[in-house]
Amino acid sequence: MQHIEFFHTDHFENNYFRIPPPSNLSPYIDFFWETRFDELWDQYPRGFSDAQFANIGYTYLVNLGTPFTMQVNDQRFEMKTDGFLPRYNAIECFHKRNNRLFGIKFRVSPIAFQKDVDFSEYHGYIFPLSYLIDPQVISDIKKAASFEDRVHVASRHFLALLADYDGPLHPVNKVSSILDSCFQNNLFTVTVEQLAAQHGVSSRTLQRYFETFTGISSKQALQIMRIRKATTHLVHSPETFDHALYGYYDHSHFYKHLRQFLEKNTLKNDRPYIKLLEKLHRSAMV
C-alpha cells in the first residue's frame, strides 16, 4: 500500500504525531513529528510506504525502531540509523513492523548560528545526522519516554543554541523572514532583486544566503511554497480555490505547475494530478 501526500490526507493526519515548536523556534522549525503506526500493522502486515512531494527546508530523522528504507527521487537508501534529509526532493519512506521515526522539519536550521554549514552541498541523498546535531542530544531523544518528552529535549537544545549566539543579525534570519513573509502574503513571484533591495543586500549576496541556508535558490524555494500552498487549498477547499490567489495567470498556468510538481518518480500513479483537477472541475460545476 502506498499513501500519497495530498491524496491520502486521513493517513498523514491521523497516523503521525505533529506539534509546532516553541515560538522562539518558529522562524526555523516548522514542526516536530513522530510516526504512530502501532495500530496499522495488522492492516498492513507486509508494510506500506508514504510518498511526499518536494518541500522547502530539510528534516532531521531520528530512528527509534528497526531499519527502514528511504527513497529520494529514484534512489533508495537502507537506513539503520539517523539521517539528514533535504526536503526539496520527492521522497518515499517504506515502513515495516517495528519501524518508528521521530523527525524535526526545519525551514532553516539554527545550526547556522554555531557551525559554518553550506546546505547547498547536500542534495539527492540522505546524509548522516551526527555532524548537524550533538550525538548526546540524539541519545537523549531516543531515551525519552514519549513524543512530548522528545519534543522537549530537542526544543531545549535548539533554544540553548539560539541563546548562545551573541552577534549581529545573522543572514539566516533574513532568509527565514523572507520565507515567512512571502508565504503569509502569497508573494511567490517577487524577484531576488526586489527582495535584496528590501533587505539592504545585493541580489548575489541574497542568492548565496538562500543557497547556503536552504540548499536551493530563492526562486526555487518560493515556487515550491507556492504550489504546495495552492495544492493544499485545492485539496481541502476546492469550492473556494482560485488560481489567481497564488499569482497564476490562468487555469492552464496553474495546471502546468501542478503537473510538474506531482509527476515524480516516487509515485506509482502515472498522472496523480488528474484526480485533483477533477475535484476542481466538480466544485466549479456545483
Q: What global pTM score does this model have? A: 0.90
pLDDT-above-90 percentage for the chain: 71
Tell me: pLDDT of 286 over 50.
no
pLDDT band at 7 (very low <50, low <70, confident <90, very high): confident
CA 169 – CA 167 distance, rounded (Å): 7
The CATH class of the 2-164 domain is: mainly beta
> Which pLDDT tens digit goes with each residue over 141-155?
999 999 999 999 999
Please, what is the end-to-end C-alpha distance for the chain in angstroms? Answer: 33
When computed from its CA atoms, the radius of gyration of the chain, rounded to whole angstroms, is 19
Pull the grid cell for residue 112: 547556522
pLDDT in tens, 52-110: 999 999 999 999 999 999 999 888 999 999 999 999 988 999 999 999 999 999 999 88
Confidence of residue 285 (pLDDT cuts 50, 70, 90): very low
Does residue 68 contact residue 28 with C-beta atoms inside 8 Å? no
Q: Determine the Cα angle at 52 with ends 48 and 56, to 5°.
A: 150
In the chain, domain spans: 2-164
Span 162-182, average pLDDT: 88
| HEC sequence for the chain | CEEECCCCHHHHHHCEEEECCCHHHCCCEEEEEEECCCCCCCCCCCCEEEEECCCCCEEEEEECCCCEEEEECCEEEEECCCEEEECCCCEEEEECCCCCEEEEEECCCHHHHCCCCCHHHCCCCCECCCCCCCHHHHHHHHHCCCHHHHHHHHHHHHHHHHHHCCCCCCHHHHHHHHHHHHHHCCCCCCCHHHHHHHCCCCHHHHHHHHHHHHCCCHHHHHHHHHHHHHHHHHHHCHHHCCHHHHCCCCHHHHHHHHHHHHCCCCCCCCCCHHHHHHHHHHHHHC
pLDDT digit string, tens, across residues 194-206: 999 999 999 999 9
Which pLDDT belongs to residue 271? 59
pLDDT value of position 168: 65
